[in-house]
Structure formats: structure tokens, C-alpha cells
Structure 1
């Protein structure tokens, strides 16, 4: 490749542009000199850079026009003349109007991006919608213990789907809903994901913040959008977390906004606006007694499953999960499981965090890293109080003194067995 002849003026301007790259007039002046010297490609690059910095600059646009024509401009951009040059005709407004900017952009697309673009988000299938379904990535084998909950879920959803002939024989529909209730932190969301994994279905998790909107009618449209997304992705499990906030008792509120949300949710559960075949609705709540009774009518969230604090096998699995990637020595998860009766999964996770913190602080004080041992974990168990106690106290009052149509039979049996 031949080297361009050295021009001290051009070289000086290049250094000036390098020190002030956003100085558009300076860059245009350099481009004009390059064009006059017959170095069209370099002039085009300078014009493109000037237009990228200031797309509306007239001098930069004129320079680009001249470079594409392959010749120099009749006038200097630094000192425009009042009279046209005799070597070229004067450019008129019609010439600028008829200039093909699309062709010009194609000429310099390797140097600078286009000045204007269309809406890139309009037809992009990879962009998530307001309510996006996902693969759950969890199966029942990932859930330790909780055999009673698994049996109830198997009867409600899994067995009918796995046996289509028997489903047809007994007229069992692939639609319906189920309400998971129990103390906080006991894995209701995790179980819902496992149900979706067992069904081979997609998963759509919905929180109150995803739906609630201060403007009238928007919350109702959001609920409708949830079910439309689920129907389009069927089979799909829709999981409503904290459904008592979304579908609270209408008798306990005077807000027309809340009433509208509840009514819309009831409509969608009935599948009036679109068939719900293949759409499985799971909901979770810590306060089932605050849920609108109409939501638990047959055909809606008509089955309830009590998700209690994890049993011993489940507690062992939770300990193993949260201690898996930590340095351990002589840890017996069986002993830990026995010492944490009534702890939720979240409580056990916190126990592991406190034990790791103890070992870390000892290592900082001694200057030598040590492993997490049973004394750390047992001390943490003694320090942490189960968060389920307050919930069980409230539940006991509801069962003993509130209205119970048999919905809380499992809860009553558990309270009796645990002598609460």
C-alpha cells in the first residue's frame, strides 16, 4: 500500500483533532484539506466522524456530499466565499433536497453507524414481555421430605396428567387451582416450581408488585395479561405469591380498586375470557383466613395444602444445601435436624450463615483460617429462634376461635400433635 505524501499542515491538523476530537469545525477543516489533496477516503472518514458528533452541522454535511461526489467543494468551509467558483456550479437547495442520504449512509456504514434507526424493540422475540414464563428447573427429587405435600400435589395435578386414558375415563379436567398455606419461609415457592417441573410445564411467578398499579383499571389489565401469557405457553403453572394481598376478602375492604382486582382474578380463574385448559394455578399465602372466600370456590383455588415447617429429612436436606460450598469439619446434619424441630427453611439458612460468621470472625482474630465445626452450628441453633412460632400462635387462635368449615383440618391436627 502506497503511503500518502506528508503535508505539514495536514499533520498539524491531525494532531489538533486528536487532542480535541469533538471539535467539529476543526475536523471539517481537516477533511476539506484532505479532499483538496485528493485523499478522498480520509476525508470521508473525517466527515463521517464530524456528522456522528453533530448530525445537523451544515459544513460537515456539505463535506460528506463533496467526498461522495469524488471532488472538492467549490468553497472553503473555513472561509466561505460570497461568489460561486467558476470550476463548479453552485449547489442549490433542490440539490440538497434530492441528495440520497440512504445511499450515503451505505457508503460510510463501515465508519459510522446510521444517524436514525427504527424501533429495534418492536419485533425482537428475545425481549421479555411484562409477564415472562420460564423453565422451572426443579423437580420433586430436589425437595427433601414433605411427603404429605407431594402426595396431595400428585393427586391434584401430576397423576391426571401422567395418565391421559384414566383422566378421560373419569372426566378429570387439566385445569384447576390449589392454595398452599403455612408459616413463612417453609418453601411454598420452591414446591410450586417443583410441581411445574414434574408437569413438564413452564412456570410464571407473579408477585403483588407485578400486578398492583395506582391507576384505575391497570391492575385488572395486568391480571388479564398474566393469564393470557400462561394460556399462550400452556401447559403452564401460574404461581401467585402472597395471594392474600391480591385477593383479600372483599368484606374487609372499601376500596373499589381492590375489589376490581379480586373480581378480575375470579373472572380469569373461571376462564371466561379464554379457556384455561393446561393452565394450573397455584397460590401461596401465610394468611389463608384473609383470602376472599370466593377464590376458594370449586373450580378455582378449590384445594388447600398445608405446608408446615420442614420435617427431619427436609431439614437435613436444607442443611446440606446451605453448607455445601462452605469449609466444614465433622458436621452431623442428623443431629442438627433433631435440634431444629419447628425451624423453617429460612431459619436453617440463617443458622448456617451465623455459624459461618462465627468461624470467619475467629479466623480474623487469630489470623489463621479454620473450618466450620459442630460447635459453631450448635451455638447458632441455640441463638436463633424459630420464626414459625408467632405464625402458629395466630393460627391456633383462628382454629380455636374463628370460623372453620373444615379447611384447616390438617392445621388443627398438627397443632394438636405438637401440643400447641
Structure 2
């Protein structure tokens, strides 16, 4: 029973003080009377019966956890210093009629609570965003990576893929690196390039390498950076991305997953998304703005789902197929992912041949799976062993290349929807790789 009186009447304490006995009887009759129980505890403590006092104080605290007297008695019985008394809070200011006096309350807490708003009488009030957040026009919200920032890369850091590098040099980088020649031939210092191919093959890495080659700042944009639930905010966000790039020129704007940012408007049911695509088209044209020094790169796994207007001349008119890494690239990628792992006698050449068609992400998975196999084997045997060729070849055999589903879908597009020769490069690769 929760109200049962603790039995403290046994032992050597039972014959002491008639007053204590009377208080015990009173407590038994009114077990929830906290002041009476605390009085008994105090008498027990004064009489030297500390254990019995602890029992009574604990019972009182179970019914009144915040009782300061009970806490002080408990601390005294346990031989600890009494807890500090709580600071009494001033009563809330009340005006006549029971209404709360906000002005008086603000004065009382003014030294403790900082003001919620900063008064700036000399500054022009900034416009609020559509959602009331007050960050309208805040272009600094987009991260701009400087060309000399840690982790910046160049094309030399891209392993293998020499054919891709040569095409980039001829079609994109050489005109951009020679502004005098561009002006001589009347070519504007602006450009758009669409990278497409299977997922995990390094399109984002190549885009960063291009920015490094141009010595340009880099802004990466995905749909989460642009799309907003409030009407008009998505278009505003798209505009602010390009405004930031114009201020930071030379700058590369990288539109990741272009099929989401620039999906075909004929297939888009949501009116807000169609307006976002329209805004992207306007920014690419530079209507009302100068886009010189702003280079637009985009990447997608499904270029056939991108709005056709984005790929007309003057916008993202140049395309580059980024295929699974070739032999030298696979060699470099495998060595990179094995560089910090314990390996012995690994035949990278055999592994390169066994991973034909693997994407860069697949190769990283092969190294991870081989490391996992060696780790589990070491745990079972109790002897640490190195990762060897057998582990890596076994992992490569167990992993199916993630590029196969993409080529299955791309094959139909290249064969039956190659209007204007858009996918001639893809068709040539499929024939060469005997995937048709």
C-alpha cells in the first residue's frame, strides 16, 4: 500500500520519547499529512535516529517532491549540506482589472532576455520571403566553392577517360580558356554542356574538374535547393542561383539531376514545376542580364526526360556521354579505394579485366565487399589477414554492374528515338560493345 506507515518502531529506538510515539500514532492515522510526517522526521533526527528520519523524509518527498523542508531534512539526515533555497520569482505585473502589464514585464526581464528584433531606424526594411522567413533575395545561402579551395580537382585528377578529356578540350575548354580569341571570332564567353550517362560514372566529378580547369568558382544546384512549397519561391530561388553566379563570375553552375530540375513540361502536371522550368530557360538566355563568365554544366541519367527547349542552341546545346570507366580509369579507381586498406599481392590487372562495365560506384563497392570478407574471416579465425586478389575477384563476381539496367533503357532510345542524331555517340558505343 502506498500510504502504509514505514515501520520504524522496532529496535533500540522503540522505547524512546513518548512524543515520538504519539507522533507515530498521528502519522498512522493521517499518512498523507506531509507536515506531520516531517515534524516526526525532525524529532527523530534531533534524537539521533538518523535512519528512521531518512525513511520519514523519503516518504514525504514521494508525496511532495518539491518540498524544501523535506529536501533539507533528507540532506541533513544523510550528512550533506542543505540544498540552496530556490530564488523566489517576482510576481507577474498585473494592471488594474486583471490585465497583464506587458510593458512592466519587459522592463523586468530586459537585462536577462535579449531583444527578439533589432531596431534599425536608418536601414531600409528588407522584404519578407513568401513564407515570412525574411530571407528574400539572400543569394549568399548558396555555397560557392572557390577554385583554390581544399578538395578542388583538375582534369588530371580524373583517371583514364582520355577520349572524354579530349572532347572536353575541343568543344568546351579551349574556347573558354582563350577569351581574346573568343572575342576575335565573336564568340560570347558563356556556354552550356550536358553530361549524360549511367549513374555512378563520375559526371559530378568531371564537372568539378572542368571548374578547376577554368579557374572558376563552382555552385552545385539540386532540386532540393530550388523547389519550395510556396508559390513563386521556386522561381525566385532559381533566379538567385544565377544572380550569385553572375556576381561570382567566372563561375560554373552545375545543375545536378537535370531531369528533375528541367523535366519535360508536357509531362509535368504541377504548374509550379512548369514555372520553374520556364525560369531556368529565362536564366540560361540571360534575358535582362549578362551571362558572360557564367558556364552552365548539367548532368542527368535520363536525357530523354529533359525538356527539349533546354537543349536548343544557345542553352545546353553541347552534350557529352560519360560512359563507365575504361581500363586505365578502373585501375586508378581501384588503387584509390585500396590505398588505405591492408592488402597483399593484389593483381590489379586481373581485377581490371574482371570489372569491365562497372561504374566507379560499383568499383568502390567491390573494394568494400572484399574488405568485409577479410574482416569476417579474421573475426572467425582470430587471426588478422590481409585482403588478397581472391577476395576482390570474389566480390567482383558477386556484384552485378549497376550500369546494365541503364543500358537496357538507353538501347531502345538510341535505336528508336534518335531524332536529329542526338544519341549517335551512344549508338556507336552500343554497337562497339555489342550491346545491341
Asked if Structure 1 and Structure 2 have the same fold, meaning a TM-score greater than 0.5 normalized by the shorter chain, the answer is yes
Quick one: structure 1 residues 20 and 407, their matched pair in 2 at CA, closer, same or farther if it must change by over 3 Å?
Answer: farther
Give the match for residue 74 of structure 1. Answer: none
Give the match for residue 293 of structure 2. Answer: 278
TM-score by length of 2: 0.69
Quick one: structure 1 residues 368 and 119, their matched pair in 2 at CA, closer, same or farther if it must change by over 3 Å?
Answer: farther
Answer whether contact 2:418 2:424 (CA < 8 A) is retained.
no
Give the match for residue 274 of structure 2. Answer: 259
1:249-283 deviation line (CA, Å, top 9, x unaligned): 11222321221111000000001132111111000
Q: Secondary structure at the match of 2:220?
A: strand
1:308 aligns with 2:371: no
TM-score by length of 1: 0.72
Give the match for residue 201 of structure 1. Answer: 216
Quick one: structure 1 residues 23 and 301, their matched pair in 2 at CA, closer, same or farther if it must change by over 3 Å?
Answer: same
1:347 aligns with 2:410: no
Shift of 1:114: 7.3
Q: Secondary structure at the match of 1:372?
A: coil
Shift of 1:403: 4.0
Structure 2 residue corresponding to 1:175, chosen from 175, 184, 190: 190
Shift of 1:173: 1.7
Shift of 1:206: 0.8
Give the match for residue 24 of structure 1. Answer: 87
Give the match for residue 16 of structure 2. Answer: none
1:45-89 deviation line (CA, Å, top 9, x unaligned): xxxxxxxxx7x7799xxxxxxxxxxxxxxxxxxxxxxxxxxxxxx
1:335 aligns with 2:350: yes
Q: Secondary structure at the match of 1:269?
A: helix
Structure 2 residue corresponding to 1:133, chosen from 132, 144, 165: 144
1:289-312 deviation line (CA, Å, top 9, x unaligned): 110010001110010000000011
Q: Secondary structure at the match of 2:385?
A: coil
Give the match for residue 296 of structure 1. Answer: 311
- Counterparts of 1:154-169 in structure 2, within 5 Å, are 154-169=169-184
Taking the aligned partners of 2:84 and 2:383, their CA distance within structure 1 comes to 54
Quick one: structure 1 residues 410 and 343, their matched pair in 2 at CA, closer, same or farther if it must change by over 3 Å?
Answer: same
**Alignment RMSD, CA only?**
2.9
Answer whether contact 1:157 1:174 (CA < 8 A) is retained.
no
Structure of higher CA gyration radius: 2
Taking the aligned partners of 1:202 and 1:185, their CA distance within structure 2 comes to 24
1:226 aligns with 2:237: no
Shift of 1:338: 1.4
Runs of at least 4 residues off by over 3 Å: 18-22, 56-59, 113-120
Taking the aligned partners of 2:331 and 2:279, their CA distance within structure 1 comes to 42
Quick one: structure 1 residues 376 and 263, their matched pair in 2 at CA, closer, same or farther if it must change by over 3 Å?
Answer: same
Answer whether contact 1:134 1:203 (CA < 8 A) is retained.
yes
Give the match for residue 413 of structure 1. Answer: 428
Unaligned runs of 5+ in 2: 1-71, 94-103, 127-137
Q: Which sits farther off after the overlay, 257-266 or 330-339? A: 330-339
Answer whether contact 1:355 1:377 (CA < 8 A) is retained.
yes
